[in-house]
Chain A
Amino acid sequence: RKEVEQDPGPFNVPEGATVAFNCTYSNSASQSFFWYRQDCRKEPKLLMSVYSSGNEDGRFTAQLNRASQYISLLIRDSKLSDSATYLCVVGTDSWGKLQFGAGTQVVVTP
């Protein structure tokens, strides 16, 4: 079983709509959580960290549910430029070794 699992998608989203997707992790001792964004043929870049109380960054909202061991990402008012693969990343030890999910592809259509 993979340590971090994501629905690969694609999630096809009309421009202006809201899309949300989850990521589950298997290690209950995980300590840090992130969403990275990866455009086609580009390197991953940090989108946002995920905090226990949930957090927002503009149109993006991230939530953490420790009891059920998942994190979520919600994108409101989707833009064409939001089309990308979103990688769920979980820190699994005190040093900060990171486990990456395989990514969820989002395609925003006009």
Chain B
Amino acid sequence: DVKVTQSSRYLVKRTGEKVFLECVQDMDHENMFWYRQDPGLGLRLIYFSYDVKMKEKGDIPEGYSVSREKKERFSLILESASTNQTSMYLCASRQGGTNEKLFFGSGTQLSVL
């Protein structure tokens, strides 16, 4: 079964800190995604990547950057964490396009104080 692993389940950071969220998938999937999930808003796409070193902005990229140096790893970076970035962050991967299933990691609950 596909495994998508996020490095931390819970994370507490201070305003202004640089934060790295790591995601690793073990099924050689081409596409990887970072979402955030907030109550009442659903999942919103931050960034996605369809290949190594390729990245595309999602719907809410402001305040975030990403890195994909290896196919299996997709990192989300908060350059200077702010309180409005407190959220559940979900990484997902998918092989191929539109009709393929998304596999999610178990999420990182980030609190920025």
- Inter-subunit contact A43/B107 (CB<8 Å): yes
- Inter-subunit contact A102/B97 (CB<8 Å): no
Contact A101/B45 with A42-B106, A45-B104 known, Cβ cut-off 8 Å: no
Q: Which residues from chain A contact B101 at a C-beta distance below 8 Å?
A: 46
- Inter-subunit contact B97/A96 (CB<8 Å): yes
Q: How many residues of B contact A (CB 8 A)?
A: 22
Give the residue of A36, A45, A94, A101 whose beta carbon is less than 8 angstroms from that of B98.
Answer: A94
Contact A102/B45 with A43-B107, A45-B104, A94-B98 known, Cβ cut-off 8 Å: no
Known A32-B99, A46-B101; 10 more pairs at CB < 8 Å: A32-B98, A36-B102, A43-B104, A44-B90, A49-B99, A91-B98, A95-B50, A95-B98, A100-B42, A102-B41
